[in-house]
Amino acid sequence: MDTVVKKLPKSKVELRISLPWEEWKGEIEHAAEHLAREIKVPGFRPGKAPRAVMEKRLGREAILNEAAEHIVSHSYSKALAQEKVQAIGAPEVKLGKLTEGETLEYVVTVAALPEVVLSPWRDAVKNVNAEFAKHQEIVEEKEIDTELEKLAAMRAKLVTVNREARLGDSVLVDFSVLQDGVLIENGKGEKHPLVLGSGVFIPGFEEKLLGMRANEEKSFDLTFPKEYYAKRLAGKKATFQVKINVVQERDLPTVDDAFAKGLGNFESLEKLKENMREGMPEEKKIKREEDHRAKILDALAEKSEIEHPDILVEEELKRMARVLQAQAESMGLNFSEYLVQMQKTEADLKKEWEPQAKKMLAVNLILDVLAKEEEIDVDSPEVEAEMNKTLAQYQNIKDIKKKIDMERLYISARNQLLQEKTLSWLKSL
């Protein structure tokens, strides 16, 4: 068998495989026997009809095609091992001419596990570690005051008012977004809640609503930010048609002893602050650990060159969708209804998630390479314990083990533990 490998874009490879007649002629008899077992031939027991009879019944081409399917299946696997190609996903196979007595040639195109090219990275990771080693978990009084303001804002009462909308008001707004007079994809919302000044819409949108009254309509043009997540809209101008349904004033509670008692078993505001002084350092530590991890991964990503095979990106997007679905179901929500509440489709979410999916794919590949280089591994008891933690999160879902692919869960848990161990090693540098 002769194999010629050619690298293609997006981490695909092409394998041109040639098999001399001596290597594949035996498959013709095997193919005839296989078809004889599958197809009932009068006068013969299953699998006993001679090749000549099968050719007369099905035609020589059918026998040759069956033989080719067998030999391709066997030789393709051998070629992958011989050329050390780590294929992922189903291959595309194009057969050459099938002629008895001649060499069989075929071409396979398949995605392959991408190569990770890392330039010198240790100093970058060491610099990140040095940066985070200087941090201390100190909680200042102004931070406590800020958190109390957030808690008060979460408990604000909404009072409908008959006046112009002001900064800090809550409004319900209908909107349509058009380009060249045509509604853009997912460019319509009804009774969308919005706090003016929160900055959740694109720059300029909330400012345009200031001064509007209930049932008032307005049309205006804005330009999407150049770094907008939806690339098709980034830097583009659009027309916004809006209607304010209701204007509500946010009545914030006074942050005092009564407020503290309403939050739990706190005798006074000072007791609540004491509790926050004790708890906030741990929260800050967790946040710092997350930031440390992110900075290390960003440093590694900057030092890497990786192609992103479509099949792996799609698999990561499916994983993210499964996680969201499991979270929704753990809260007792039907996933389809949950998407309706979010005013999104699964396709919408996948478009939004694609940059994150590519980053996660790169991170996983980099950490996998480093784990192999440093001989970092996890054992089965560790993996099983991690699996049990995951299953415990969804214990209120009936027959959860029947709904979850346990083999997939094992692989996921092992990969997660391996990544954590590798990250711990990186933090120790």
What are the structural domains of the chain? 2-111 (3.30.70.1050), 157-251 (3.10.50.40), 306-427 (no CATH)
Please tell me the pTM assigned to this model: 0.59
Q: CA separation (Å) from 72 to 18, 188, 195, 291, 376?
A: 10, 51, 62, 49, 37
Give the other-Cβ count within 10 Å of 316's Cβ: 21
CB 14 within 8 A of CB 6: yes
User: Cα–Cα distance between 342 and 328 in angstroms, integer?
Assistant: 12
User: Cα–Cα distance between 364 and 306 in angstroms, integer?
Assistant: 11
Cα three-residue angle 144-149-154, rounded to 5 degrees: 125
Instruction: Tell me the per-residue pLDDT of 358-395, one tens digit each, with 9 for 90 and over.
Output: 888 888 889 988 998 889 988 888 888 888 887 777 76
Instruction: Tell me the per-residue pLDDT of 81-113, one tens digit each, with 9 for 90 and over.
Output: 888 888 888 889 898 887 878 888 999 999 888
Residue 244 has pLDDT above 90, yes or no: yes
User: Cα–Cα distance between 45 and 38 in angstroms, integer?
Assistant: 11
CB 253 within 8 A of CB 156: yes
pLDDT of residue 187: 84
Q: Residue 296: pLDDT band by 50, 70, 90 thresholds?
A: very high
Q: E strands of 56-143, at which residues?
A: 87-95, 104-112, 117-118
**19, burial (CB in 10 Å: exposed 0-12, middle 13-18, buried 19+):** buried
User: Cα–Cα distance between 90 and 277 in angstroms, integer?
Assistant: 56
Q: CA separation (Å) from 221 to 3, 165, 315, 358?
A: 59, 20, 38, 33
